[in-house]
Structure 1
Amino acid sequence: MIAGVLLSACSQYSTRPGAISFHNLSARYNAYFMAQQDLLNAEYDVQKAYKENYNQLLPLLLPMDSVLFRPVKAKLEDAVRKASIVAEKHQNSKWLDNSYLILGKARLYMGQWADGLEALRYIYANGKDEGDKNDALILLMRAYITRKDYSNALGVAEYLSQQPLDKSSTRDFYLTKAYLHQQSGEYLTSVAILEETFPLLGKSPETARIHFAAAQMYDQLGQYALANRHYKAVSKNRAGYDLNFYASMNSLQNQVVLSPEKDLNEVGFSKMLNDRKNDDLKDKIYFTMGLLAEHRKQIPEALGYLQKSAAASKGTNPQQKAYTYLQLARINYERLEKFNAAKSYYDSALALMPETAPEYRLVADRKMALDEFVSKYEVVAREDSLQKLAGMNPAALDNYIDTYMEAQEKARQEEEEKARKEAEAAQALNPQSNPSPLLGPNERRWELYDPALVNQGKIDFKRIWGNRALEDDWRRSKRQMRALASGNPAAAADSLTMEQEEPENKSLVKGTPAWQEMHDRLKQDIPLTAETMAESQGRKENALYQLGKIYRFDLQEPQRSIASFERLLADYPGTTYKEELYYLLYLTYPDNDAAKNTYKDRLLKEYPNSTYARLVTKPGSAGPEGASSQLKEYEAAYSLYSQGNYTKALEDIEANLPAYKGGPLEDKFALLRVFLIGKVRGKDAYSQAIAEFISLYPDSIYLPRLKEMQELNSLSMGKR
């Protein structure tokens, strides 16, 4: 009897003061406290291991990323196990809500979203402490932000803004709301909230980090003086060395922007370069100097600084080198229009950039587009050059080729002589190049240990193959035409025209059979007959057409797309692509440009019965609700497809397909749907989707392509 009374008095469902006190004590010290310590230790470990990317906007709060928290999964599981004890054995304890908060946060960190959100919602629905309820809602808001569910996060924020919050909850709420607006790109609102938050924050490395993020957002808004105020606040809040360094760098950058007359070395860059503590960070210093030089339109200086940045990278920060290559790629592409160099730099950036980087998909798409673009661009340049040579009279052409060969042979000999002298100088100055007394009479040093042998190898290589850049496909003989047409001896020395099937140690001499053989080889690709000229014109016409489409759809550069299409129409008035070009130009020109209607009128006048004419005359096909708006919708769906988000893209297209009915891009949407079905639903569904397209769109310009796809799919299914 007495035992039963004692047990009932200690029941977790009892409301007696003694029972509640017992469970409060047991819950706090036997479960909650230890669970809280496990969670705090896990958060500390993750924060300590987290690698900031200072080239990107720092998130105000660390993301709830299960990959990020994977190394501390054991601690999180311990926190969950211990916090669950309170829920299982101490229901009447005042620490129940706090334990559910730990449960929710730990499960969210581990990526267990359903369980984590359920724990937070339980606190809101059943919690007894208003402060715990508010903390659960703040955490719920952060979870929504992580999932990019900004509308729900904003709804929670509006509710919390009406609640009385204590100082700690107010601080967390302000930070989370600022984080919401930062992640949704509303930087002005975010920094306004942060200005109210800073008085609530103590001095700490985390406060320094928040000041840095605020400064970055002010930079985005063009408020450089306000940004510098926060960059200076970083050093006053016990920031680490790296954070202090990047804050100083960005502050110097803003000083130059605010005072354009200042020399880069005057504001402190030279001092930072000479500081030995910055040896591993010189790449960032040169990178910033490159950005500022470009800002001042000093492009050669910018390239020089960026190349110094790449050379100074010691492998401790591969991300910085990736951004350096990215900047070099952008300058070469946008400002210098050196597309081959830009492609190479994009390749290098992509090789160093982690797949989790925000720019990775964009860089990968740009690199893929440039691969195709450069090949077409080179076709246009090559055929232009060959056609120009073909227009010369025969005697002038022969003289031109001979002059070119003489310049090339002279450059080759000078290079070989220079290499020989370097080898002799190295052998004379470097005692290691002399035979070692430890070697036997018939033994020799390994070539890579002997500078003389290395230099001799370089001479032999240059004699046989010429002076070549380190690049892919360097033996392609077609490149000789570009060097020949350029008329530049420096380019000639770099070209492949001296490629030979067998090594030769003889110089080319004018009038010899070897000279004539090389002369004829250079001449053979020049379109000197009507037939070869037609083939050359065809290659150039097709390449211009493809260039315009790559500009328009892959590189998202409408103005360059227009220039390419209009050049094609000017150079080839009878082109077979004319009706499609009229249509694409109509779609590409902005609505307020008179040229838009000009191309529409041409299309209707010259090709009144074409599919493209029907597309531009269908109801709703013009104006912001017609072709232009549907093109934007298509580009959004195609972007999802390019990013590998096939399920989402397919859902969007199938949900809106009725709205595209009768629109200018209906069959284009249907074609993309076919591709997506193949990615998401397998071969059988893919085969059915192709058959449906052929049945529904018998007049589509994509029909030949679909029939080819149908044949390939049938062959593939037959092999199974």
Structure 2
Amino acid sequence: MKKAYREDYNQLVPILYPMDSVLSQSVKPQLLDAIKKASIVAEKHQNSKWLDNSYIILGKSRLYLGEWADGLEALRYVYANGKDESDKNDALILLMRAYIIKKDFSNALGVAEYLSGQAMKKASIKNFYLTKAYLHQQNGEYLTSVAILEETFPLLEKSPETARIHFAAAQMYDKMGQYALANKHYKSVSRNKPGYDLGFYSSMNSLQNRVFLNPKTDLSSIGFNKMLRDRKNEDLKDRIYFTMGLLAEHRKEIPKALDYLQKAVASGGKNQVQKAYTYLQLARINYESLERFDLSKAYYDSALTVLPSEVPEYRLVSDRKKALDAFVTQFNIVYAEDSLQKLAQLNPAALDNRIDQIIEEKERARIEQEKKAKADLAKAKNTGSPIALAPSGPIGIGNERRWELYDAALVNQGKIEFRRTWGNRVLEDNWRRSTKQAQVIAANNPVAVDSVAKSEPVEEVMTKGSPAWMALHETLKKNIPLTEAQLLDSRKRKEDALYNLGKIYRFDLKEPVPSVATFKRLLNEFPNTQYKDEIYYLLYLTLEDTSPDKLTWRSKLLNEFPNSTYARLVSDKAAESREAAGANNPLKAYEDAYMLYSKGEFNKALEDVEKNLPAYKGSIMEDKFALLRVFMIGKVRGKEAYTQAIGEFIRLYPNSIYLPRLKEMQELGTLSAGKR
């Protein structure tokens, strides 16, 4: 089972191996045989001195097979009925390990406290210390975990297992920023007969820490180049380049970091998980440092295709990718409408010149790309070397470019660019013919005039004044909001997109600072926006309590929209309700309100719900209270208020499980308010 287990050195190495029922399938016959033989002792030899040991074997075998209830029962039996104190301690140590694997840290700590007061043999003390260190490691208490390990190392003999535990200790010191102490344990790894991969990653992390300890260290002088030249590291080059990329980014050398990370992708190591982490790093840099949101989204897409679903990052990456899908859409709308509105402000002659300039830039870029491709082809024919098929792009690496279909990130980026310019096209021959270009762009409404510069080239060279040129010119001009009605539509699209962007920053990306900036921009550019009351409310919620502006937005909300739902949520009565809600049961409050609703006492029920809703802000019951409020508003305040309440619910609770029902009611124009 240990040989079959594959470490992910990008994650914290667990101090103890996991009890994985999938890994145990290869030894299932041996485990079943152990259970069979241990059961004979339990069934026929109740007076045997080996009875406790047999139950421990039973429990351990059951745990490995994933039969947790039976395994825990066998171990508890030893604790309750065992005659040998040492065996009872061993059973409890194993029981503690099982609790840790099931994330039952409370019970595991209880067992650990009991064992701390027991007299144990040397072997049991070693196992207890390792298991307790494992408990604190898995619970994120790294300082306690390494403190226990420091006491344990004198009890361990030199072995690959000890090397692995030293590596785990070093990783935890890394987490705490104690790089010198981490390197002490990385050196200890090499003294304990590690396997090649463990020794390699230990050396890599040690070199990385040398740079952290001395930021002026030259990356080319500390051993990375030597590791790259070593033939034994051929399959590990991706990890070497990845580490060099991390260090370059740490030193704020972003272009160099991207170059190293792209080389990590291009080196094509067998470790797909490593490639996933490289994609994630590229996605993060493009998002945070370069604000290339389309490219960041493409890298997240690529990471998800190769990242195992069981790793801790998978859910976070998946959620961020979904958030970026929506973010990129809204961001492109804002960018496009901004560009188009700026073009609309030009006088007719300047506008025509600008459109011609866009077309000319696009043609120049296409010609340069074709010349470069022909030069590469000629060079490849003359030298007999493989042809570099991929054009220089976000993942291209000088002369080490790879064919784009080998790289999922480049494929995704290509799809985004294609759809942006050409829309969702049907597969057909000759789709790029210049005679079709005008109608294609007109039909699919490109997001911005400037994006034409990135579109796929036509097969013929366009010259200024030619029919193809003029057709494209006129098509682009049609997208510019030159009339009052077109400008109003453009401004409305931008207003909605800014509102959506602010909420995506706030709720999905969890970035309060750009969320506040986006909402303020919306209020500045659209002072009469339909979202003003909600934006006041969201600004009040998003700003820190220490911010001097927080109460300003609350005052604006109460003064300008005193009767809105959002004003009720921040009123003094709501604050008193929140303070009194500590001992209240939200479920009982909901049931009481629903009982009044069922009896037809709608006014009283609505009063109770609006009183309790602010108190349970952020709880799992919040959207349930809000839904009941929508139904009762329909009963008490009429159709207009009911429709408004539905819209407020949809905006306030975009992730609610009740949203499909509310949207259906909104779309159908439901008049039978209060139906469930």
Q: TM-score, normalization: structure 2?
A: 0.81
Deviation at 1:303, TM superposition (A): 0.6
State the shift of 1:510 in Å: 2.3
Determine if contact 2:577/2:612 at 8 Å carries over to the other structure.
no
Distance 1:127 1:667, change over 3 A: closer
Structure-2 change in CA distance of 1:256 and 1:396 (3 Å): same
With over 3 angstroms needed to count, the CA separation of the structure-2 counterparts of 1:109 and 1:389, relative to structure 1, is same
Preserved CA contact (<8 Å) 2:159 2:194: yes
Partner SS for 1:661: helix
Counterpart residue identity of residue 512, structure 1? S
Q: What residue in structure 1 maps to residue 16 of structure 2?
A: 61
Displacement of 1:321 in angstroms is 0.5
**Superimposed CA distance per residue, residues 32-63 of structure 1 (whole angstroms, 9 cap, x where no aligned partner):** xxxxxxxxxxxxxx111100000000110112
Question: Structure 1 residue 401 and structure 2 residue 355: aligned?
Answer: yes
Shift of 1:416: 3.5
- Greater CA deviation, 69-78 or 291-300? 69-78
Task: Indicate the residue corresponding to 1:367 in structure 2.
Answer: 321
Check if 1:663 corresponds to 2:618. Answer: no
Q: Distance in 1 between matches of 2:215 and 2:385?
A: 52
Counterparts in 2 of 1:244 and 1:551: CA distance versus 1, 3 Å: same
In structure 1, distance between residues paired with 2:74 and 2:611: 43
For the structure 1 residues 49 and 703, does the alpha-carbon distance in structure 2 shift closer, same or farther, using more than 3 Å as the test? closer
1:249 corresponds in structure 2 to: 204
Query: Would the alpha carbon gap of residues 418 and 256 (structure 1) be closer, same or farther in structure 2, given more than 3 Å must change?
Result: closer
1:269/1:89 CA distance change after superposition, 3 Å: same
Q: Following the alignment from structure 1 to structure 2, what is the Cα–Cα distance between the partners of residues 88 and 120?
A: 16
Instruction: Sort the Cα spacing of 1:413 and 1:327 in 2 relative to 1 into closer, same or farther, 3 A.
Output: closer
Matched, 1:552 2:506: yes
Gaps of 5+ in 2: 388-411, 424-440, 587-607, 635-641, 652-658, 671-676
The answer on whether the counterparts of 2:186 and 2:203 sit within 8 Å (CA) in structure 1 is: yes
Distance in 2 separating the partners of 1:269 and 1:191: 29
In structure 2, the partner of 1:572 is 526
User: Are the equivalent residues in 1 in contact too, given 2:282–2:299 (CA < 8 A)?
Assistant: yes
Q: CA deviation at 1:74?
A: 2.3
Question: Which residue in 2 is equivalent to 1:495?
Answer: 455
Deviation at 1:669, TM superposition (A): 4.4
2-structure distance, mates of 1:712, 1:246: 57
Q: Is 2:259 the partner of 1:304?
A: yes
Match of 2:110 among 155, 159, 176: 155
Alignment CA distance shift 1:523-1:558 (3 Å): same
What does the per-residue CA deviation read over 1:289-311, in whole Å, with 9 as the maximum and x for residues that have no partner?
A: 11111111111111111111111
Cα displacement (A) at 1:401: 1.1
SS in 1 for 2:219: coil
Matches of 1:251 and 1:669, distance apart in 2 = 45
- The letter of the residue matching 1:412 is R
Question: Hey, what does 2:599 align to over in structure 1?
Answer: none
Deviation at 1:385, TM superposition (A): 0.6
> d(CA) in 2 for partners of 1:522 and 1:191?
64
Q: Distance in 1 between matches of 2:548 and 2:368?
A: 58
User: Quick one: which amino acid aligns to residue 631 of structure 2?
Assistant: I
The structure 2 residue matched to 1:97, chosen from 40, 52, 70, is 52
Q: Residue 257 of structure 1 aligns to a residue in which SS? A: helix
Distance of 2:209 and 2:52 partners within structure 1: 47
Q: Which deviates more, 262-271 or 420-429?
A: 420-429
Partner residue, 2:631: 694
Q: Does 1:470 pair with 2:470?
A: no
In the alignment, residue 165 of structure 1 is paired with which amino acid? M
1:596 aligns with 2:550: yes
Deviation, 1:659, is 13
Q: TM-score, normalised by structure 1?
A: 0.76
Contact 1:616–1:622 at 8 Å: present in 2 too? no
CA distance in 2, matches of 1:284, 1:473: 30
C-alpha distance in 1, partners of 2:252/2:281?
14
Alpha-carbon displacement from aligned partner over 1:200-230 (angstroms, at most 9, x marks no partner): 1111111100000000000111111110000
Cα RMSD over matched residues? 3.2
Q: Which residue of 1 aligns with 2:43?
A: 88
- Displacement of 1:112: 1.2
Shift of residue 417, structure 1, vs aligned partner? 4.3
The 5-angstrom pairing of residues 331-342 of structure 1 reads: 331-342=285-296
**What are the within-5 Å matches in structure 2 for residues 380-529 of structure 1?**
380-420=334-374, 422-423=376-377, 470-472=414-416, 474=418, 476-477=420-421, 485-486=449-450, 493-496=453-456, 505=460, 507-529=461-483
Aligned with residue 161 of structure 2, among 206, 209, 232: 206
SS in 1 for 2:415: coil
Aligned-pair CA distance for 1:695: 4.0
2:99 partner amino acid? Y
Alignment deviations for residues 431-475 of structure 1 (CA, whole Å, 9 cap, x no partner): 999xxxxxxxxxxxxxxxxxxxxxxxxxxxxxxxxxx97334615
**2:649 counterpart letter in structure 1:** Y
Distance 2:502 2:51 in 1: 65
In structure 2, distance between residues paired with 1:606 and 1:664: 23
Q: How far apart, in 2, do the equivalents of 1:238 and 1:301 lie?
A: 35
Deviation, 1:713, is: 12
Q: CA deviation at 1:406?
A: 2.5
* CA spacing shift, 1:83–1:562, aligned 2, 3 Å: same
> Is residue 167–residue 185 contact of structure 2 (8 Å, CA) maintained in 1?
yes
Structure 1 residue 495: deviation in Å?
Answer: 2.3
Matched position secondary structure for 1:48: coil
Distance 2:609 2:565 in 1: 20
Task: Say yes or no: does 1:47 pair with 2:2.
Answer: yes
The secondary structure found in structure 2 opposite 1:702 is: helix
Deviation at 1:592, TM superposition (A): 1.1
Give the number of the structure whose alpha-carbon radius of gyration is greater.
1
| Secondary structure in structure 1 of the residue aligned to 2:187 | helix
Aligned match of 1:19: none
Letter in 2 for 1:54: Y
1:77: how far off? 1.5
From the superposition, tell whether residues 389 and 53 of structure 1 become closer, same or farther in structure 2 (CA, over 3 Å): same
Q: For residue 683 of structure 1, what is the aligned residue in structure 2?
A: none
Which residue identity does 1:104 align to in structure 2? G
Query: What is the rounded CA distance, in whole Å, between the counterparts of 1:580 and 1:432 in structure 2?
Result: 59
Distance in 1 (CA, whole Å) between partners of 2:176 and 2:277 is 22
**Other structure's SS at 1:185 match:** coil
Residues in 1 aligned to 2:525 and 2:53: alpha-carbon distance in whole angstroms: 75
Distance between the aligned counterparts of 2:116 and 2:611, measured in 1? Answer: 42
Shift of residue 661, structure 1, vs aligned partner? 2.9
Taking the aligned partners of 1:306 and 1:199, their CA distance within structure 2 comes to 40
* 8 A contact 2:516–2:542 mirrored in 1: yes
Corresponding position: 1:124 with 2:84: no
Q: Which amino acid aligns with 2:297?
A: K
The one of 42, 59, 68 aligned to 1:113:
68
* Secondary structure, aligned partner of 2:221: coil
Matches within 5 A, 1:190-229: 190-229=145-184
SS in 1 for 2:119: coil
Query: Is residue 328 from structure 1 mapped to residue 275 from structure 2 by the alignment?
Result: no
- Is 2:571 aligned against 1:617? yes
Query: Judging changes above 3 Å, is the alpha-carbon distance between structure 1 residues 548 and 300 closer, same or farther for their aligned structure 2 residues?
Result: same
Assess if the C-alpha contact under 8 Å between 1:620 and 1:626 holds in 2: no
**Unmatched runs of 5 consecutive residues or more in structure 1:** 1-45, 434-467, 634-656, 675-688, 716-720
The answer (yes or no) to whether the contact 1:469–1:494 under 8 Å persists in 2 is no
